[in-house]
Amino acid sequence: MAEDFICVEVAYALPHKQKLLSVEVPQGTTMYEAAEQSGITQHFPDLELSKSAMGIFGKLEANPKKRVMQPGERVEIYRPLTADPKENRKARAQQAKARKAGK
């Protein structure tokens, strides 16, 4: 009996380059396997899938190597944060406070 396939997408973005790939994978394929099979690393040679966080439509997945894909889902590969959002908010608040005190 022929193996059933599903269509999923794999997405990754840098500030200057983005890629969204459609890929047909066997049913039962995990997020991690879909990312590997998509060939996304050919477009981003520095991308290390084994070290990358992944999610489905904006929701972080704790274990991409076990999460089985469903038809039509999109694997999003997240890059590390370059700045801590809490620290950024704190710095902006301090700057606003300094500006207000300087008036």
The domain spanning residue 62 has which CATH number? 3.10.20.90
Report the mean per-residue pLDDT for the chain: 91
Q: Is 13 exposed, middle or buried (0-12, 13-18, 19+ CB in 10 A)?
A: middle
pLDDT at 56 over 90: yes
Cα dihedral sign for 18, 57, 29, 2?
negative
pLDDT at 1 over 50: no
Domain, as residue range, for 49: 5-102
Q: What is the pTM of this model?
A: 0.77
Overall number of domains in the chain: 1
Q: For residues 9-29, give the mean pLDDT.
A: 96
